[in-house]
């Protein structure tokens, strides 16, 4: 019985000593891969406010007001009293094909008598560009000074902004301040004590110039 007890005690001592002497095994990582997929399809290109696509005329194009002016017999160039709105283009085609915008205007007309002011001209210059929320480091999109003939209903469209190939994706906003918009009225043109209006037509072409 004593011999058996000794052997048993010695065995327990060896096991206990083994616990303190053994180094834990290092953890091993096992990895696998998987995918996260998405497929995009082509959208539209248009002059539109993406935040208000059903807003109608004037929501995505600017309006220029030149206030009340005295009739004069000399040539005059008037700065705008106010500019309301911006030119907004959205290109969701996903092609990076580029685009361009032109503008034309009807004759500057007395809406009551239908009498026109001959040889009137609207000038848009030094527009600022915002592309997808950024106004800096914009490449490929350029705004041109536009001279818009307001003397007839068939005036030649003037280039306003151009997005070269590989630019113009997403949302682009073109802004004019009142200091960058002017209206030329010849002194020799007949003017009456009334308001005159021209309708501007902005045309987006889905390719650059």
pLDDT 10s digits, 148-170: 999 887 778 999 999 999 999 99
Mean pLDDT to the nearest integer, 184-209:
95
Token look-up 């110039």 returns 209
Percent pLDDT > 70 in the chain is 88
DSSP for 47-98?
E--TTSTT--TTSSS-EEE-------SS-EEEE-SEEE--EEEEE-SSS---
Lowest mean pLDDT among 46-50, 51-55, 85-89, 108-112: 51-55
Confidence of residue 12 (pLDDT cuts 50, 70, 90): very low
Is the separation of the CB atoms in 142 and 162 below 8 Å? yes
Q: What is the pLDDT of residue 14?
A: 35
Confidence of residue 24 (pLDDT cuts 50, 70, 90): confident
User: Looking at the predicted structure, is the pLDDT value of residue 20 above 90?
Assistant: no
User: Looking at the predicted structure, is the pLDDT value of residue 16 above 70?
Assistant: no
User: Which pair of tokens denotes residue 100?
Assistant: 């361009």
Token look-up 């959208």 returns 43
Q: What is the pLDDT of residue 133?
A: 93
Q: What is the pLDDT of residue 28?
A: 94
Q: What is the pLDDT of residue 21?
A: 54
Backbone angles phi, psi at 201, to 5 degrees: -115, 120
Distance CA 91, CA 99 (A): 9
Mean pLDDT to the nearest integer, 33-54:
92
Q: What is the pLDDT of residue 9?
A: 32
Count of residues making up the chain = 209
Average pLDDT, the chain: 88
* Bridge partners, 78 (sequence order): 183
Per-residue model confidence as pLDDT tens digits over 132-150: 999 987 899 999 999 999 9
Is the separation of the CB atoms in 160 and 99 below 8 Å? no
Q: How many CB atoms lie within 10 A of CB 126?
A: 11
Per-residue model confidence as pLDDT tens digits over 87-145: 999 999 999 999 999 999 999 999 999 999 999 999 999 999 999 999 987 899 999 99
Nearest to 122, CA basis, from 101, 84, 150: 150
DSSP for 127-171?
-EEEETTB-SS--SEEE--EEEE-SSTTPPPEEEEEE-TT---EE
User: Which pair of tokens denotes residue 45?
Assistant: 């290109």
Mean pLDDT to the nearest integer, 187-206:
96
Nearest to 196, CA basis, from 59, 66, 57: 66
Distance CA 206, CA 165 (A): 11
Distance CA 147, CA 125 (A): 9
């Amino acid at each position: 019985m004593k011999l058996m007890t000794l052997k048993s005690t010695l065995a327990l001592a060896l096991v206990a000593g083994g616990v303190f002497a053994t180094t834990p095994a290092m953890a091993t990582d096992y990895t696998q891969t998987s995918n996260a997929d998405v497929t995009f399809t082509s959208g539209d290109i248009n002059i539109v406010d993406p935040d208000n696509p059903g807003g109608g005329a004037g929501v995505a194009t600017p309006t220029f007001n030149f206030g009340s002016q005295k009739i004069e017999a000399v040539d005059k160039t008037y700065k705008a009293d106010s500019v309301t709105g911006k030119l907004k283009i959205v290109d969701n085609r996903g092609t990076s094909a580029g685009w361009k915008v032109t503008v034309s205007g009807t004759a500057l007309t007395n809406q009551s008598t239908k009498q026109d002011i001959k040889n009137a001209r609207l000038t848009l210059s030094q527009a600022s560009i915002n592309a997808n929320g950024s106004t800096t480091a914009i490449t490929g999109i350029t705004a041109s000074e536009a001279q818009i003939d307001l003397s007839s209903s068939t005036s030649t469209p003037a280039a306003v902004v151009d997005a070269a190939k590989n630019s113009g994706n997403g949302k682009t906003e073109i802004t004019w301040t009142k200091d960058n918009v002017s209206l030329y009225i010849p002194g020799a043109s007949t003017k009456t004590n009334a308001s005159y209006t021209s309708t501007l037509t902005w045309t987006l072409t889905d390719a650059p110039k």
